[in-house]
Amino acid sequence: MKKVILITGASSGMGKETARKLIQEGHTVYTAARRVEQMQELKTLGGHPIQMDVTNEADIQRVVDTIIQQEGKIDVLWNNAGYGLYGSVEDIPLEQARRQFEVNVFGLASMTQKVVPYMRKAQSGTIINTSSMGGKIYTPMGAWYHASKHAIEGFSDCLRLELAPFNINVVVLEPGIILTEFGDEVLKSLGQFSSAGAYADLTRRLVASTKKTYERGSGSKAAVIANTVLKIVTAKKAKTRYRVGRWAKPLVWLRTYFGDRAFDKLIMSQVQA
C-alpha cells in the first residue's frame, strides 16, 4: 500500500537518498529541510520539497498543516534532521550545545507532537527516529552529539509505550558510519572549537582519523539506509530498532559485552599519533 511520508533533513545524505527511493517505489513523499534548493531533484522525480527549519515551531506547524490539507493524513514520519557537534566539553560554548539539542532532540520532539494527533485519530502510523550507533557508544570530543543521540534513544522508548495503544509504531534507526556530509560537519566543528589549547593534540589526531575514514570510503553508502527505511515502511510489524551500516553492530556489541575500560582502549587506539 502506498503511503504519505514526511522526511526531515532530506536535502542531502541519508534523507535525500531514501526520499529518492521511496518516490521511485510510488509513495507520496514530502521532504523538509532548510536548503530547499538542494531538493529540486526530488521535485523532478515527483516528490514534494518544503522549506523548513526544524528549530522553528511555526515552520513545523506550516509543513504539517500543508500535508494534512493536501493529503488528509501522514502515514510515516521520519525524524531524520540532525548534525554532529564535536569539540571538547571545556571548549564548546553552551549556546552551541543547546543548539545541538534544539536540532537533534527538540526539533524531533516538536515534529512528533504535531504529527501524532493525526496518527492517533487514524489509529495508524509509523514514526522513525534517527539515532545512531552513537546513541549506544561514545567517541572522544563528541559529548554533546552523543548526549543528543542517547536522549533520542530514551525518548523513543517512552514514546513507543505511549503510542502502542493507538497502533502507532515507533522505530529507532541506528546508523553506523555512512558516507555523507557528516564527516565534514565533524571536521568543521573540531576546527572551530578545539584546534588550539589543551585539546589541540587530541583534536589533531581525531581530525586525521576522521579524514582517513571518510577519504578511504571506510563506511557504508546511504543506500543501505534507504533500503532499511523502505523495509520499515512496508513491514507488517517493524522491529523497534534497526542497526545498520559499517561498524554499527560490532561496536555496539563490544561496548555492551566488554565493558567501559576495554571500549575506552579500543576507541582511543583509533586516534593514536
Q: Active-site residues: which are they?
A: 11, 131, 145, 149
What is the CB neighbour count within 10 angstroms for residue 159?
19
Measure the N-to-C terminal CA separation of the chain; round to a whole number of Å. Answer: 53
The C-alpha cell at 131 is 539515532
Separation of alpha carbons 177 and 13, rounded Å: 12
The C-alpha cell at 133 is 550507533
Specify which residues 28 forms β-bridges with. Answer: 4
Separation of alpha carbons 204 and 44, rounded Å: 42
What is the CB neighbour count within 10 angstroms for residue 122?
15
The answer to whether the Cα torsion of 207, 208, 210, 215 is positive or negative is: positive
Contact, 76 vs 177, CB < 8 A?
no
Which residue is associated with the grid cell 507532537? 113
Separation of alpha carbons 32 and 6, rounded Å: 7
The answer to whether the Cα torsion of 19, 20, 26, 32 is positive or negative is: positive
Q: Helix (H, G, I), strand (E, B), or coil: what is residue 51? A: strand
